[in-house]
Structure 1
Amino acid sequence: MEYISLPPGLCTTTTAALACGVQPATVRDWVRRGLLARVGGTPKRPIYRLDDVLAAHAAPKPSSAGRCAQNRA
């Protein structure tokens, strides 16, 4: 069940993913890695600020080459 309506500037995981052109799992990964914080909702239906979502999307992400180099160190 999705929210019927949210205040302007807020979005669900699904709408955040649509806004950034990524999968909802990617948005959940941003939360897990600390790039994005929930601002409300429930544990199963979190709500995010759209500005925060766009900032998380624009944030530099580690490349797979960078992760491999870290694992060797």
Structure 2
Amino acid sequence: MEYLSLPPGQLTTTTAALACGVRPATIRDWVRRGLLTRIGGTPKRPIYRLADVLAARDRPKPTRAGQRRDHPA
């Protein structure tokens, strides 16, 4: 169940993913990698600030060995 209403500027994992054009798993990965911080909610239903989500989207991502690249080097 999603939240019925959040204050302006606060997003759930699903709405954060929609705002960035990525999958919800990507948002959870950004949290795991330390690129995005939760501001509240519950462990299963976290809440994020819109500004933090957009900053995480624009931040350079560290790569891992053997990771696929979407653009030529």
Residues 39-50 of structure 1: pairs in structure 2 closer than 5 A? 39-50=39-50
Q: Runs of at least 4 residues of structure 1 off by over 6 A? A: none
Unaligned runs of 5+ residues in structure 2 are: 67-73
Task: Report how many residues are paired.
Answer: 66
What CA distance in whole angstroms lies between the structure 2 residues aligned with 1:18 and 1:9?
Answer: 14
Greater gyration radius = 1
Which amino acid in structure 2 is aligned with residue 16 of structure 1? A
* Counterpart residue number, 2:26: 26
1:68 Cα deviation from its structure 2 partner: 2.4
Q: CA deviation at 1:25?
A: 0.2
The answer for unaligned runs of 5 or more in structure 1 is: none
Q: What RMSD over aligned residues (CA atoms) do the two structures have, in Å?
A: 1.2
- How far does the alpha carbon of each residue in 1:42-63 deviate from its partner, in whole angstroms, 9 at most, with x for none? 0000000000000000000124
Matches of 1:47 and 1:68, distance apart in 2: 31
Alignment of 1:27-66 (within 5 A): 27-63=27-63
1:19: Cα distance to partner? 0.2
Partner of 1:68: 65
User: Which residue pairs with 2:12 in the alignment?
Assistant: 12
Q: 1:1-57 CA deviation, whole Å, 9 max, x = no partner? A: 000000000000000000000000000000000000000000000000000000000
CA distance in 1 between partners of 2:62 and 2:34 (Å): 13
